[in-house]
Amino acid sequence: MDGLDVYTIADNVDEYLAQRQIEGKKYFPSYMICAKYAWKHLFKNTIYAVNSEWKTMQLGVPYNYVDVPRGTVRLFSVAVTDKHNQIVPLWYNNTVNIMPQPAASQKKCGCTSCQCGGLCEDINSLTYTTKVLFTINGVDYIEKDWIKVCPNGDVIEYRIVPTKKYNAFIGDGGEYMNDYMNDYNIGGDPFSDYTIENLELQNTICHLATRPCGCPEETVENIELFKKYCGQYLRFNSYCNRYDHNAIFLGDINKIGQLGTVKMSECGTRIYYIPAPTKHNETPKVPTFLLVNYQMSGEDCTEVVQVPDYAKEAMFYGIDYYAKRFNNAYAKYEKDDAKFAWRQAQNDLIMFLNPLNMDYLAQVQDLPIKY
């Protein structure tokens, strides 16, 4: 193969066996397996070869898609061609929902007469608030508050408040000094004869306009009224709290996606294409092909796989290491020597693919040390 800068894996195995002075082809298949592992390791961890392939768009739900090339370990980019036939990368849109929505569940309010909005959901998802009023002998006595919206629109606040009910009103501080002065011990509870009772209180705090079915109307007045009197019971991400936000509070930050965006499926086998939004209900343009740039794992490795000339030396050491590591005919030090030589060959290959500028290194040595 003189004059060519690539060699097949079979050629590499033949040259390796020739250097080992092994003439017979008896063990050629086993050395091919070793060469496969060596090439897979180099291809995935050292060379970082990038493949580019035009994939045909397939019809799918919720969006059209292209299949991820088989054996892909890294997906670098997806691109299309513009009107000038230039390759333009597509933006990855992580905000697009590609998961099918679950079947509609029964509404919390149980109403089947109307389409309840966010206000009705908030009313049926109110939080339960608590507050520690006092502590006696290490026991916390807690006030519990919640609200309930009645079918007629009345919003009632319920409270359970622990209180001290005194059984006697005679103070028990007493005189603590043997004199004739009126001095009392003020360090303790002056009234210790009491029991704790829970008072149940209720109060109508506001009234909401309702539909005939009893669900609240989705009006600005109702929302403001509900927030004013029931805001302490709302969840942080409730509908009423979001109501004040501008429509573009979490708007599309991708201002350059005129040619569409992409997103990977949950299973990692498809790349969905999301067309760019159009005006006046126009039909979005969907490209026929997408250019996928990716790195292969080297799994589909055959005799005809081409190896660059600069990787031949590393391949020889890789075949030698993989041929010896599980072979009991070699001592441990021989296996270790083969492993160290294999690592050094990889480092030499990395140095070849990433040459260092000696002038830059000379300048780095003269820089002051700041840390």
pLDDT digits (tens, 9 = 90+) for 234-243: 665 555 655 4
**Range from 302-306, 331-335, 349-353 that averages highest in pLDDT:** 331-335
Map out the domains of the chain as residue ranges.
6-49+297-353, 118-242
- In whole angstroms, give the CA distance from residue 103 to residue 113: 19
Q: Name which of 140-154, 160-174, 294-308 the model is least confident about.
A: 294-308
pLDDT on residue 240:
61
198 φ/ψ sector (left φ>0, alpha ψ -120 to 50, else beta): beta
Determine the pLDDT at residue 69. 84
Q: Residue 179: pLDDT above 70?
A: no
Contact 203/210 with Cβ under 8 angstroms?
no
Q: What percentage of the chain exceeds 90 in pLDDT?
A: 9
Lowest mean pLDDT among 23-27, 59-63, 120-124, 187-191: 187-191
What is the rounded distance in angstroms from the CA atom of residue 302 to the CA atom of residue 358?
Answer: 40
Residue 1: pLDDT band with limits 50, 70, 90:
very low
Closest to 42 in 3D by CA, of 240, 357, 348, 311 = 311
Rounded to an integer, the average pLDDT of 17-43 is 85
Average pLDDT over residues 92-100: 79
What average pLDDT score do residues 144-155 get? 82
Angle at 207 between CA 204 and CA 211, to 5 degrees: 135
Across 103-121, average pLDDT: 62
Q: Find the mean pLDDT for residues 76-105.
A: 78
